[in-house]
Amino acid sequence: MIQELIFATGNANKVSEIQSILGDKFSIKSLKDIGFSQELEEPFDTLEANAKTKAEQLKEITGKDCFAEDSGLFINGLNGEPGVYSARYSGADATDSRNIELVLKNLEDKENRSAYFKTVIHLLKNGKHYQFTGICEGKIIPNPIGDNGFGYDPIFIANDIPERTFAQLTKEEKNTISHRAKATKKFVEWLKK
């Protein structure tokens, strides 16, 4: 029997990525697929709590098994900023380049530029809660380099591929080491068991 799971995302790329790894025993539906267009609330200050509440809100609305994901960049010299606020770090009209500018400005007088990306996936299945975490350690460089990817990719160099920024990696290279790929791998392996 095909198991249906609703994914708390509007991002079709994330859905097709997970669907293609899972194969045809699972059917992953996005918010768009189920005709849901409101924003899910993310009121907490940890990725874990926000992923959990998004999965719970979705379960409340659909009554079905579902999962949610939350990611962010944690910079050690900035006490973990931007963290859960990564998408909106530079304010209500934040863009990737404004967020990058603010990070670089705040890091100007800091020696410690180590940082990590983290993804938490929260699954609510048959009334039970499960979390899967992926972390990618690295550092923030002083000037953006590269055109691929999104978000903070041009200023992040992962320890696993120390020669290039995330924005200089191919999609395939990033997918072998990224926080999201690691969390997704754990999630998918658990589902396939």
Contacts of the segment 150-157: beta carbons below 8 A, 24+ positions apart: 150/96, 151/73, 151/86, 151/87, 151/96, 151/99, 152/73, 152/86, 152/96, 152/99, 152/100, 152/103, 152/117, 154/100, 155/100, 155/103, 155/104, 156/73, 156/115, 156/117
Instruction: Work out which of 18, 73, 115, 124 binds ligand IMP, going by CB under 6 A.
Output: 73
Q: Which residues share a beta bridge with 138?
A: 115, 158
Instruction: Work out which of 67, 72, 81, 100 binds ligand IMP, going by CB under 6 A.
Output: 72
Amino acid at 58: L
Q: Which residue lies nearer to ligand IMP by CB, 81 or 153?
A: 153
Does position 161 interact with ligand IMP (CB under 6 A)? The reply is: no
Q: Which residue lies nearer to ligand IMP by CB, 152 or 187?
A: 152
Task: List the interface residues with ligand IMP, window 79-118 (CB under 6 A).
Answer: 86-87, 117
Q: Which of 70, 93, 109, 147 is catalytic?
A: 70
Q: Which residue lies nearer to ligand IMP by CB, 53 or 178?
A: 178
From CA 139, how far away is CA 155, in angstroms rounded? 8
Q: Which residue lies nearer to ligand IMP by CB, 139 or 180?
A: 180
| Residue 153: both structure tokens together | 């990719």
Least distance to ligand IMP, CB of residue 127, Å: 25
Task: List the interface residues with ligand IMP, window 116-145 (CB under 6 A).
Answer: 117
State yes or no: is 109 an active-site residue: no
Total residues in contact with ligand IMP, by rule CB under 6 A: 15
Task: List the interface residues with ligand IMP, window 52-71 (CB under 6 A).
Answer: 70-71
In the chain, what is the straight-line distance between the N-terminal and C-terminal CA atoms, in Å?
Answer: 15
| Residues within the interface to ligand IMP (CB under 6 A) | 70-73, 86-87, 117, 149-153, 166, 178, 180
Q: Which residues are catalytic?
A: 70
